[in-house]
């Protein structure tokens, strides 16, 4: 194979990284207020709406968008399609960073951050949230274990422990790779189980006992589009080769995966008869139409065309639509669809909630940049160098 | 060598797990206690005096309210229980007229319903919420992490949160005066003070009979329905009324207990972790096979 991941040789401080830093500082200030005056000082969460965008976007969408990690690992390492190994490292890095921030978002959102260890010892096996928490906890660890070889390649000589771990892991890495896929399947679906317990509070457009299946299949579907989006952003902002030779075949697989999700999602809606409220013009039905129309059906049709799959710009646009569609789905299920029976005002995120969410995303971008600058993550060649 | 062993392990795992796939995926079973306490609230008797609110405040040592309990102007707005108020009385004018042809008020007491199969208990990540044999849905702050899944799950929108507390916020709700009813002859604060016997404390099964007898004895007065008998599988708190429940703030709720579907999903997929183990085995086998193919190819 031709790929060989190398550190990116580009100046680290750019206007982009400085903006990221500013957003991170704004989020940090918000967190100081949250831990001084309580959740009510920075959020619009209340007794009617206990969950807001920190759960709907940071946690639920964050987990979904990190699906690139296990879907590429499955393809390259388990199915043995080594051709795709060029994208496994950046996808792994995104997943590791993404899940680390999911864990951080959860610890900010829960009232008793210091008690986050308690589910390990006080277990309620009936709770879907318990299973999600356990899986995420183990999976974050697994992801960073999978990342050790990348760290060791660069720091192995300086830190003997890393080199030792790397050698030890060489023989057992397959366990962690499979474990990562299994854990992902478990909690991606169980995230969908969470609101199945509240049938009267979730709009019928989204409420179905098959929510876990829809969450799982949409996670499968969004994995490769997410790889397309992050690879395209990384290679274009770092002025590297586009890696279209890998992204085009990945998007062909997406036609199948997104197609499965689309059939299940629309089939479920039709069989339950919930489509009757679709054209009532409410905010919820609009959100649903945008989610399924712009986020699933149209990009799926676009992907059918070879011209789209082979054009860097069109493929990026299509993949971005799918990514935003799955994000919107998680946001819709946890926030838009949630009907509090006794609420007098609807929930809108407060400035503080938005600042923390944006700051978390900025931190992920920033750390991604740090890692690709200092560690061998990206395989793409610099554009000036002809292959 | 390594790859062959890998394939072998995977195949063994898959076979073993396939044999162990559970046959315990039974229908969901209710965990409701057989003979819990309950309270029967008779909306035709309540006069909206707020004595129950005051008693609740005192026995639970809640902070002094901004407005005194004998000030009835608070009834002009609809209220909900919150982190320092476990029960409230709301006043409705559902259209009934009194003797002098003036709109007659109906007063409704709101507090935790203490469901027989509570969604909050099933949802709670650590088991900090439990349904006790005496009927109370009990909160153990020592296990709580503050995820607020109980609040998202509760169909009655009852658990409230101390959002203003930065480090040690608690979930707050009616305790069913757990300590008091655990003692012989003990009653909840609200039930013991009510001057018009609008709240009757007793065994839920007996209260149901009492409720039906009241309806039977005066069918012209009562609506033929005991709210809480069947809603979400039954609640420890029960209501009888002379007006439609939906007109005075009660929701129309399904008769199935809320945790039925999620607990069925969780137990049929994850008991003995059979499905993750099976998946691990299958993936291991696939990985072994593809790896071996490549080994041959390389050779």
Is residue A166 within 8 Å of residue A149, measured between CB atoms?
Answer: yes
Mean pLDDT of A126-138: 95
Q: What is the mean pLDDT of chain B?
A: 90
| Closest residue by Cα to residue A65 from A256, A331, A302, A249 | A331
Taking residues B112-139, report their average pLDDT: 97
Q: How far is B216 from chain A (nearest CA, A)?
A: 31
Residues of B in contact with A213 (CB under 8 A): none
pLDDT at res. B20: 47
Q: Do B127 and A36 touch (CB under 8 A)?
A: no
Query: Looking at chain B from residue 62 to 81, which residues have their Cβ under 8 Å from any Cβ of chain A?
Result: 80
CA–CA dist A223, A70 (Å, integer): 8
Asked if A114's CB is within 8 angstroms of B152's CB, the reply is no
Interatomic CA distance for residues B72 and A97, integer angstroms: 55
Q: Which residues contact B236 (CB under 8 A, 6 or more apart)?
A: B36, B37, B38, B39, B113, B114, B115, B116, B135, B136, B176, B204, B228
* Alpha-carbon distance A106 to nearest alpha carbon in chain B (angstroms): 8
Residue of B125, B155, B163 with shortest CB distance to A38? B163
| Band of residue A382 on the pLDDT scale cut at 50, 70, 90 | low
Distance from CA of A3 to the nearest CA of B (A): 18
Instruction: Give CA–CA dist A66/A232, Å, rounded.
Output: 16
User: Tell me, what's the pLDDT at A26?
Assistant: 96
Say which of A124, A133, A182 has its CB closest to residue B283. Answer: A182
- Measured between CB atoms, which of B251, B253, B265 is closest to A212? B265
Least confident interval from A115-129, A177-191, A360-374 = A360-374
Q: Are B235 and B116 within 8 A, CB to CB?
A: yes
Which pLDDT value is given to residue A313? 94
Average pLDDT over residues A244-273: 95
Pair B174, B86: CB distance under 8 Å: yes
Task: Kindly state the average pLDDT of the residues A153-161.
Answer: 86
Instruction: Average the pLDDT over A345-368 and give the result.
Output: 94
Rounded to the nearest integer, the mean pLDDT of chain A is: 92
Q: What's the rounded Cα separation, in Å, for the pair A206 and A265? A: 9
Q: Which of A50, A115, A182 sits opposite B148 (nearest CB)?
A: A50
Q: Do B157 and A341 touch (CB under 8 A)?
A: yes
If pLDDT is split at 50, 70 and 90, which confidence band does B10 have?
very low
Tell me if chain A has a CB within 8 Å of the CB of B282.
no
Residues 99-128 of B with CB under 8 A from A: 119, 122-128
Predicted local confidence at residue B96, as pLDDT: 86
Residue B25 has pLDDT above 80, yes or no: no
Of how many residues is chain B composed? 299
Across A45-71, b (16+ Cβ under 10 Å) vs e yields bbbbbbbbbbbbbbbbbbbbbbbbbbb
pLDDT on residue A385: 43
* Per-residue pLDDT tens over the stretch A80-90: 888 888 889 88
With a CB cutoff of 8 Å and minimum separation 6, the contacts of B226 are: B208, B211, B212, B215, B238, B239, B240
Answer yes or no: is pLDDT of B36 > 60.
Answer: yes
Q: Is A170 on the interface with B (CB under 8 A)?
A: no
**pLDDT value for A25:** 96
Give the mean pLDDT of A162-187.
91
Interface of B with A in 236-255 (CB under 8 A): 251, 253-254
Cβ–Cβ below 8 Å for A37 and B166: yes
pLDDT score, position A378: 86
ipTM value: 0.92
Q: Does B270 or A197 have the greater pLDDT score?
A: A197
- The answer to whether A351 faces chain B, any CB pair under 8 Å, is no
Closest partner CB to B279 (pick from A34, A40, A182): A182
pLDDT value of residue A329: 97
Residue B295's pLDDT band (cuts 50, 70, 90): low
- Give the pLDDT mean for B100-114: 95
Looking at residue B98, its pLDDT comes to 85
Q: How far is B40 from chain A (nearest CA, A)?
A: 23
Cβ distance of B263 and A171 shorter than 8 Å: no
Q: Do A197 and B276 touch (CB under 8 A)?
A: no
- Round to whole Å and give the CA distance between A193 and B162: 27
Does the pLDDT at position A347 exceed 70? yes
Q: Closest CB to A51: pick one of B145, B152, B280.
A: B152
Chain A contact present for B8, CB below 8 A: no
Distance CA(A356)–CA(B249), nearest Å, equals 37
Q: In this model, does residue B18 exceed pLDDT 60?
A: no
- A-chain CB neighbours of B153 within 8 Å are 197-198
Say if the Cβ atoms of B161 and A209 lie within 8 Å: no
Average pLDDT over residues A64-68: 93
How close, in Å, is residue B126 to chain A by CA atoms?
Answer: 5
Q: How far is B183 from chain A (nearest CA, A)?
A: 28
pLDDT 10s digits, B187-237: 999 999 999 999 999 999 999 999 999 999 999 999 999 999 999 999 999
Cα–Cα distance measured from residue A298 to residue A292, given in angstroms and rounded to the nearest whole number: 9
pLDDT for residue B2: 42
Give the mean model confidence (pLDDT) for residues A49-58.
Answer: 96
B162 touches chain A (CB under 8 A): yes
CB contact under 8 A, A182 and B157: no
């Amino acid at each position: 194979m031709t790929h060989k991941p190398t550190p990116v040789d580009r100046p680290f401080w750019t206007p982009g990284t400085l903006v990221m830093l500013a957003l991170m500082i704004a989020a940090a200030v918000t967190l100081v207020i949250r831990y001084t005056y309580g959740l009510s000082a920075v959020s619009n969460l209340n007794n009617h709406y206990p969950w807001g965008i920190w759960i709907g976007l940071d946690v639920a969408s964050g987990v979904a968008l990190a699906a690139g990690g296990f879907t590429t690992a499955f393809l390259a390492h388990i199915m043995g399609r080594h051709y795709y190994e060029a994208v496994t490292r950046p996808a792994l890095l995104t997943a590791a960073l993404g899940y680390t921030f999911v864990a951080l978002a959860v610890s900010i959102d829960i009232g008793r951050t210091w008690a986050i260890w308690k589910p390990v010892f006080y277990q309620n096996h009936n709770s879907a949230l318990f299973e999600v928490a356990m899986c995420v906890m183990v999976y974050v660890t697994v992801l960073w274990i999978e990342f050790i070889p990348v760290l060791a390649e660069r720091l192995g000589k300086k830190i003997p422990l890393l080199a030792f771990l790397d050698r030890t892991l060489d023989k057992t890495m397959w366990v962690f790779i499979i474990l990562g896929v299994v854990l992902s399947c478990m909690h991606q679906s169980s995230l969908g189980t969470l609101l199945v317990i509240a049938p009267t509070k979730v709009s019928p457009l989204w409420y179905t006992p098959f929510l876990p299946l829809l969450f799982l299949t949409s996670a499968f579907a969004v994995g490769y589009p997410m790889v397309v989006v992050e690879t395209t952003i990384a290679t274009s902002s770092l002025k590297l080769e586009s890696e279209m030779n890998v992204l085009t075949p990945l998007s062909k697989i997406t036609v199948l995966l997104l197609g499965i999700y689309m059939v299940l999602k629309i089939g479920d809606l039709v069989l339950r008869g919930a489509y009757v409220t679709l054209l009532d013009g409410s905010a919820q039905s609009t959100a649903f139409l945008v989610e399924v129309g712009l986020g699933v059906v149209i990009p799926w049709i676009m992907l059918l065309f070879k011209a789209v799959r082979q054009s860097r710009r069109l493929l990026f646009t299509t993949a971005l639509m799918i990514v935003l569609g799955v994000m919107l789905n998680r946001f819709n299920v946890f926030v838009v669809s949630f009907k509090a029976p006794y609420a007098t005002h609807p929930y809108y995120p407060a400035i503080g909630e938005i600042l923390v969410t944006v700051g978390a995303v900025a931190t992920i971008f920033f750390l991604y940049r740090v890692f690709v600058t200092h560690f061998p993550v990206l395989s793409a060649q610099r554009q000036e160098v002809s292959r | 060598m390594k790859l062959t062993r890998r394939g072998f392990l995977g195949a063994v795992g898959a076979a073993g797990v396939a044999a162990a796939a559970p046959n315990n995926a039974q229908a969901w079973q209710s965990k409701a206690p057989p003979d819990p306490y309950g309270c029967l609230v008779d909306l035709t008797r309540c006069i909206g005096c707020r004595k129950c609110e005051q008693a609740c405040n005192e026995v639970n040592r809640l902070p002094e309210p901004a407005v005194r309990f004998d000030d009835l102007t608070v009834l002009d707005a609809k209220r909900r229980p919150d982190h320092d108020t476990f029960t409230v009385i709301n006043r409705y004018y559902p259209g009934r007229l009194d003797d002098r042809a003036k709109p007659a008020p109906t007063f409704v007491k709101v507090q935790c319903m203490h469901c027989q199969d509570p969604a909050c208990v099933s949802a709670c990540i650590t088991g900090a919420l439990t349904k006790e044999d005496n009927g109370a849905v009990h909160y153990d702050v020592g296990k709580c992490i503050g995820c607020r899944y109980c609040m998202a799950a509760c169909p009655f929108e009852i658990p409230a949160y101390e959002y203003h507390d930065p480090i040690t916020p608690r979930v707050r709700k009616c305790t069913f005066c757990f300590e008091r009813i655990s003692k012989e002859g003990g009653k909840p604060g609200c039930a013991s003070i009510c001057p018009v016997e609008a709240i009757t404390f007793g065994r839920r099964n007996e209260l149901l009979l009492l409720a039906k007898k009241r309806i039977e004895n005066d069918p012209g007065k009562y609506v033929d329905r005991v709210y809480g008998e069947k809603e979400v599988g039954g609640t420890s708190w029960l209501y009888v009324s002379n007006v439609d429940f939906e007109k005075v703030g009660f929701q129309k709720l399904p008769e199935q207990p809320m945790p039925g579907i999620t607990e069925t999903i969780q137990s049929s997929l994850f008991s003995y972790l059979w499905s993750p183990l099976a998946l691990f085995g299958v993936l291991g086998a696939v990985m072994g096979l593809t790896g071996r193919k490549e080994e041959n190819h390389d050779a």
